[in-house]
Each structure stands twice: as structure tokens, then as C-alpha cells.
Homo-oligomer: A and B are copies of this chain.
Amino acid sequence: MDDVTEAPRGPVVERVPEGDERPRMVCDDCGFINYENPKIIVGAVVTWGDKYLLARRAIEPRKGFWTIPAGFMELNESAEAGAAREVMEEAQAEVEVGALLGVYSLHHINQVHLIYRAEMTTPDHGAGYESQEVALVDWADIPWSELAFPSVRWALEAHHRHRGETNFAPETCPEIPHRIE
């Protein structure tokens, strides 16, 4: 009789499944194959007039650092709707989503960031549960040295560069720091 006292552990074994070409994470307890794909982060550079909406992160990674509202795109929403949802969740602000500012393939962490331009429809905002603090700041007061991720800087700079433009190609990663492979 097999010893079944050991707790099963989910898809933690790396193997090339039959009929596939690449190694996938499989579970030897239940046979599940976890087809891991890159995940989509949706977010927005949000403005009210000339001011930028920034949130100080209440959660790891980079707790205490400033970010734009962004997070994992969920099922059954468009990228634009997801970006608006993240703004509401993290900064309690209602926005209209506009142009796509950047498509950042962060392949060292298997994420593609779709970052939009968005304008608040009212000045109301506040800290969602993932934020310690939310603020509307002038361009000159953006805390560049306290931004949570390089992609936050890229997106803010893309927004600034494309002020007044309505038809432009989204930017891509200007650099891939900390590449791990």
C-alpha cells in the first residue's frame, strides 16, 4: 500500500508533457499541467489637470515606494477596463482611459505591462487597501528616487513626452534592468 500521509504539493515538477515541446510544471499527485504564460499588468498614468496621481504601496514588493495604479488584468475585462478598475481599487479615483502609453515586455519576470493615459472625472481620490497614501502631485514634485519600479518611471516619462498628442505609438522598455536568465 502506498504511503499517502505526505501532503500533495501541486504542480511543482518540471517536465515536458507528452505532445508538448517545452517543459511545464506538472503535479505528480493529480496530473495537472500548469501552462504558465506571461501575465498582463494593466495600469494607468492618471492626471487631474496638471497633477499626477501617485500611490504609496502598502504591500510588498517595494512597500513604502510610490507607484502608478496597476495590477494583474483579470478575466472577463478589457485591458482598458482593467486599468480603470486598478485605479479605483488602489487610488479610489474614477477615470476615463485614453491612449496606450506603453507596452513593456518584462520578460525577466514574465509580465507584459499595458499602461494607459487616464484622466480623473472628479478630483476625488483616496488610499485603497494596497496603498498607504495617495497624492496628486505636480510633475516637478514626482519623487523619482522613491518610485517602486523602473516601469513606473518609464510610464510617467512617456506620459510627459506625449502631452497633447493623440495618435502615437506606445513606447517599449527603454532598458531591461536586472535581467535574470
Do residues B169 and A100 form an inter-chain contact, with CB atoms below 8 A?
A: yes
Chain A residues 71 to 111 lying within 8 A of chain B, measured CB to CB, are 72-81, 99-100, 103, 105, 107-108, 110
User: Which of A27-35, A120-128, A132-140, A144-152 touches B?
Assistant: A27-35
Complex alpha-carbon distance, A108 and B77, angstroms: 8
Do residues A22 and B74 form an inter-chain contact, with CB atoms below 8 A?
A: yes
Counted per complex, copies of this chain come to 2
Do residues B10 and A27 form an inter-chain contact, with CB atoms below 8 A?
A: yes
Contact residues in B for A76 (Cβ distance below 8 Å): 107-108, 110, 181
Against B, the Cβ 8 Å flags (1 = close, 0 = not) of A10-24 are: 110000000000100
Say whether A142 faces chain B, with CB atoms less than 8 Å apart: no
Say whether A63 faces chain B, with CB atoms less than 8 Å apart: no
Residue in B34, B77, B100, B173 whose CB lies within 8 Å of A103: B100
Do residues B167 and A36 form an inter-chain contact, with CB atoms below 8 A?
A: no
Say whether A40 faces chain B, with CB atoms less than 8 Å apart: yes
Do residues A11 and B32 form an inter-chain contact, with CB atoms below 8 A?
A: yes
Do residues B36 and A38 form an inter-chain contact, with CB atoms below 8 A?
A: no
Complex alpha-carbon distance, A99 and B11, angstroms: 37
Do residues B10 and A32 form an inter-chain contact, with CB atoms below 8 A?
A: yes
Say whether A112 faces chain B, with CB atoms less than 8 Å apart: yes
Residue in B29, B72, B103 whose CB lies within 8 Å of A79: B103
Interface residues of A (CB under 8 A from B): 2, 4, 7-11, 22, 27, 29-32, 34, 36-40, 72-81, 99-100, 103, 105, 107-108, 110, 112, 114, 166-170, 172-173, 181
